[in-house]
Structure 1
Amino acid sequence: MLTELSIRDFAIIDEISINFKEGLTVLTGETGAGKSIIIDAIQLLSGGRGSVEYVRHGMKKAEIEGLFTVDSDHPVHQKGSQFGVDINDDGMVVLHRTITHQGKSICRVNGKLVTLGILKEFGQTLIDIHSQHETQSLMDPDRHIELLDLFASSELDTSMKEYQSVFENYRSLLKRYKELSENEQEMAQRLDLLEFQLRELQSAELEPKEDEELTEERNKLMNYEKIYQGIHDAYNSLYGEQKGLDWLSHAMTSVESIADYDDRLSKMSEELSNSYYVIEEMTFQLSSQMAELEFDPERLNQIESRLNELNRLMKKYGASVEEMLEYSSRIEEEIDEIRNKDSHLSKMEKQINELGQDAVLEAKNIHDIRSKASDTLSEYIHEELKGLYLEKASFAVDIQLKEGRSNSPEFDGIPVHLQFNGFDIVKFLITTNPGEPLKEIHKIASGGEMSRIMLALKTIFSRHQGVTSVIFDEVDTGVSGRVAQAIAEKIHGISIGSQVLCISHLPQVAAMADTHLRIEKRVDNDRTFTGVTELKYEEKADELSRMMTGAELTETTLEHARELLKLAEKHKQHQI
């Protein structure tokens, strides 16, 4: 959830810090008080497009910072791993954005500088903003397949992984086939390059682990004197009269002479004897090692020369001799492919056809799961629409095959275009008037209907999307009466599974708030300032009364507002 939002020198806001809570938070206030400015700030924090117009007049920069807390399995952790941003076990994520008066944008995630694109990647996993004037992901036809897959994820995940594994192999083979078959000139140039590289590597006569062995030998030669002196000192300390081995022999003989009187002494005698012979053997080895040591400056020069040659090749072909040998083997295979292109292309065509049909079979499983899930989703959406007084509306999920070229793999005799998520095109269709044909959902004209349709969809998908905070910016515009009450109940229902922030002019929505914030504007020394106040129960009643009748409060409207709050509380208790 969004825990805290800090805004400085942004539009008419000089400095403000808002602590948000779980559940439904409603922001109300007069038009122009700054409600939408707060949502604009959150939108910029999630990677929205900025402008110098947002910087408060006379200031050098505007700053926005949001603190989010997430669970250990939240998708933002994957984003952190992907972009190298550290997200601690406490699950805190801080998004920060600065917009300068020169138009520059500086973005940070948990203190790390990131691009605006990366900030947007994080923002989309944390915040989902819906407004009356914005094209929403729920209304975007290109996103419908993602939403359907999200809805069917429990049944779809395994089949999708199996398909994508086959598809990646298929796509990789297609790419290689295209490279090998399309450009004769490029292939000829490639062959020349590979043959030169292979000759260079083969002439080097590389041996496995050669670089490691030569480096070790070089270190020994370069430290000859130190090694010789160490062995010499160790040997002289052990061997000779009155030296270590002589004293150890004396100790062994002494204990051996009394070993028969005590079992412990007998054991000690045996251990001393073993130690003596081990160290004696070590002394012989030191002597032999010292005799074998020889400093050969010519050999050192040869090693240095060979290592220089290996390092030169490593800059071109790999970080070690092992990697260079692997590269040599790969280009040998590629040279063979190019030289015998026709036979390889024929073999690859057969593999492509087989993989393509395998991918189609896997994609068919996905298609079947989507078709079944679309029926279930349609039933759920119809139930939600009924609750929003759109009982005559009809919703359907249209799944079509994305047709491919004549040489594409076929499904039921139709060439299909395989994509990373299968071969389907998914569109959400709806009609709100009986007898009218189903149309794509984003083409519905009525603002009030659009708000209800979006809420119906959001109610279903919010259970699956996993975003931390859902924000509604005046999505209840154009509705009233029983529809307004239904929208209020739906918005609160979404807040049970996700934190919801909502700007509203409807008293029914405001009454449902778990936290009610009033945004106020004041003028001081000819400058405009925005403030935020969390309302208590009686203050909520006053605010609801103003929303019903305007500035003037009457006992009747206050009583009506209190009754609205009681009904809202009763509904929330029933939801629990």
Structure 2
Amino acid sequence: MLLGLRVKNFALIREASLSFEEGFTVLSGETGAGKSILIDSISALLGAKTGRDMIRSGEEAAYLELVFSVERQELREKLAALSVFPEEDGTVIVSRKIQKNRSLSRINGEAATARQLRELAALLIDIHGQHEVQTLFSTEMHGELLDESLSPEGLAAKEAYAVAYRNYRALKKREREGSDRAALLREADLLSFELRELSESGIRPGEEAELAAAYTRAKNAARLEEALGIAEEALRTDAVSEALRAVRSVLRYSDALGALEGQLTELDALLQDAEEAVRTERNQIESDEEGLNRLGERLDLIRHLEAKYDCDEAGLLSLLAEKEARAAEIESLIKDAARLKQQSEDAMAALGTAAETLRRFRHTAAAALSERVERELAALNFKDARFEIRFEEQPEYTEQGGESAEFYIRTNPGEAVKPLRQIASGGELSRVMLALRAVLAANDRVETLIFDEIDAGISGRTAQLVSEKLMEISRSRQVLCITHLPQLAAMADHHYLIEKATDGSRTETEIREITGEALYRELGRLIGGAEITDGVLKTAEEMKQLAEKRKEGMR
């Protein structure tokens, strides 16, 4: 269950903290007051993309936080599979800090990826807005909604089909590769040439750097020999030795000469070592034109291969291993073409069996879902509504199965049943989505549902029925609803008012829970618009009292 939401410096909201409880919570306010900002903030916390333009003007960063309470062991186990572990009291805190150059999300203090947040959201909260209502025009969405109503056995059949489909696709790909023998032989010939070229080059790790250093030394042998000769001649001197002998001859006459004698001894030894090192280095220099050419040719070969295969020395070495593996794979494909064909045929048969099993579960679920949706539609003021799910066989198996599903509906007596996508009324689509959600709530274990103006396009008696349906859902789930209808607002257990305020220079959105007189005034605004008369207030109070009686009767 959602316990709280904190928003700081996000869009027009400077700072807001909301606490939520069980039951039915409504959020209302003038158009443009910032109701959609709340949905945006929750979506951002749960992995949706959010740009730095959502940071409140003049601020360096925005901060968002959601607090959930997780009590069911089943849900805790699912969270553990995502490496999310609630606190001892069951609390899960999701936070996100949005800065101008980066965004950081955390789950209970641990850094989290957008994918982790989306997977977490699928377990904890479900948001239904006008965008989702519009997705009812997509037949792909129809299949997804139908699958939400599958029994546990049906879901297992769906997973078995997915495994069979992936296996079939992988084998079919290998079979296609193996069946084009001519193409494989051409690739094998090219690989053979490239492998021979790479293997015969005999490149060693670090060889290029060694060759480059040796080539530079060999190419400059004459200059090196000349410079080292000058150095050797300069170091070949007896001056220090003579100075040392002179100091030692008078050492006994002055104790102060002991330190000087030590310095000269050390210097004499250093000069002799330096002379020997220069001589050794000079003797190792070879002015070998043929050797220089060999080094250059070897270096040119390595760099030619690097340019040809567009990689460095390390890349050439790994490329050799990759091409050896591919050559072995091609050899296996050519050799095992018949075996792969048989495996592919067996996989196709297994896929067909899995598809048929899944088809039966889906048809059974479709019949039950249609019947239950019709009952919900009747409760939402669709008189004599007819709802069907029709299937169309696909020319080939897809990731979803061998059939596609599409919703058909009749909203008025005497009309023909037509595809749902042909319904133009937003109000009708909203009620169909609500009916579906009311049915699927029994299967869905998500504890918090958010409806963002799902009441768009409806009014009067229909609005009252929608409010009662939301209240009914809230008996088993926590329901939050952003609305502009007084009928829905009156049925709420808790009501938050969203207002926009300005001091002339800055504008910000403020959110507060309202009760009593403030609640009646907001209901009055929803009923009568900007001018709230005593009569409107009295009507609002009566509406709230009637709603409370209706809720008591529903309980």
TM (norm. structure 1) is 0.66
Q: Which residues of structure 1 form unaligned runs of 5+?
A: 196-314, 317-330, 405-416
Of 388, 396, 409, which aligns to 1:430? 409
Question: Does structure 2 retain, via aligned residues, the 8 Å contact 1:45–1:97?
Answer: yes
CA gap of 1:2–1:140, structure 2 versus 1, over 3 A, is: farther
Deviations 1:203-244 (A, max 9, x none): xxxxxxxxxxxxxxxxxxxxxxxxxxxxxxxxxxxxxxxxxx
Determine the structure 1 residue equivalent to 2:17.
17
Asked whether 1:36 is paired with 2:36, we answer yes
Residue identity opposite 2:129 in structure 1: S
Deviations 1:46-83 (A, max 9, x none): 2333233322121112221111223445668646634x
Per-residue deviation, 1:341: 4.8
Per-residue deviation, 1:14: 0.8
- Secondary structure in 2 matching 1:33: coil
- Secondary structure in 2 matching 1:363: helix
Greater shift in the superposed pair: 185-194 or 85-94: 185-194
Determine the structure 2 residue equivalent to 1:254.
none
Which whole-Å CA distance do the structure 2 matches of 1:533 and 1:105 have between them? 28
- Secondary structure in 1 matching 2:43: helix
Question: Does structure 2 retain, via aligned residues, the 8 Å contact 1:46–1:127?
Answer: no
Structure 1 residues 7-406: aligned runs within 5 Å: 7-72=7-72, 78=78, 81-82=81-82, 84-88=83-87, 90-100=89-99, 102=100, 104-132=102-130, 140-182=138-180, 183-184=183-184, 185-186=186-187, 339=331, 341=333, 344-404=336-396
Which whole-Å CA distance do the structure 2 matches of 1:384 and 1:445 have between them? 20
Residue identity opposite 1:388 in structure 2: L
Residue identity opposite 2:502 in structure 1: V
CA gap of 1:7–1:424, structure 2 versus 1, over 3 A, is: same
Which whole-Å CA distance do the structure 2 matches of 1:136 and 1:111 have between them? 36
Per-residue deviation, 1:20: 0.9
Greater shift in the superposed pair: 360-369 or 29-38: 29-38
Which whole-Å CA distance do the structure 1 matches of 2:135 and 2:478 have between them? 18
Give the aligned CA root-mean-square deviation in angstroms.
3.7
Residue identity opposite 1:99 in structure 2: I
Deviations 1:301-348 (A, max 9, x none): xxxxxxxxxxxxxx99xxxxxxxxxxxxxx9xx95x855755622122
Per-residue deviation, 1:489: 0.8
Structure 1 residues 451-490: aligned runs within 5 Å: 451-490=430-469
Which whole-Å CA distance do the structure 2 matches of 1:422 and 1:40 have between them? 34
Which whole-Å CA distance do the structure 2 matches of 1:541 and 1:85 have between them? 42
Which whole-Å CA distance do the structure 2 matches of 1:89 and 1:338 have between them? 56
- Secondary structure in 2 matching 1:543: helix
Greater shift in the superposed pair: 353-362 or 338-347: 338-347
CA gap of 1:192–1:475, structure 2 versus 1, over 3 A, is: same
Determine the structure 2 residue equivalent to 1:449.
428
The number of equivalent residue pairs is: 434
Determine the structure 1 residue equivalent to 2:244.
none
Which whole-Å CA distance do the structure 2 matches of 1:89 and 1:188 have between them? 64
Q: Which residues of structure 2 form unaligned runs of 5+?
A: 197-316, 319-324
Per-residue deviation, 1:144: 2.3
Which whole-Å CA distance do the structure 2 matches of 1:193 and 1:461 have between them? 59
Residue identity opposite 1:11 in structure 2: A
Deviations 1:101-160 (A, max 9, x none): x36433333333334344333334433222235555555432322321220223413433
Per-residue deviation, 1:442: 4.2
Per-residue deviation, 1:491: 1.5
Greater shift in the superposed pair: 4-13 or 544-553: 544-553
Per-residue deviation, 1:85: 4.5
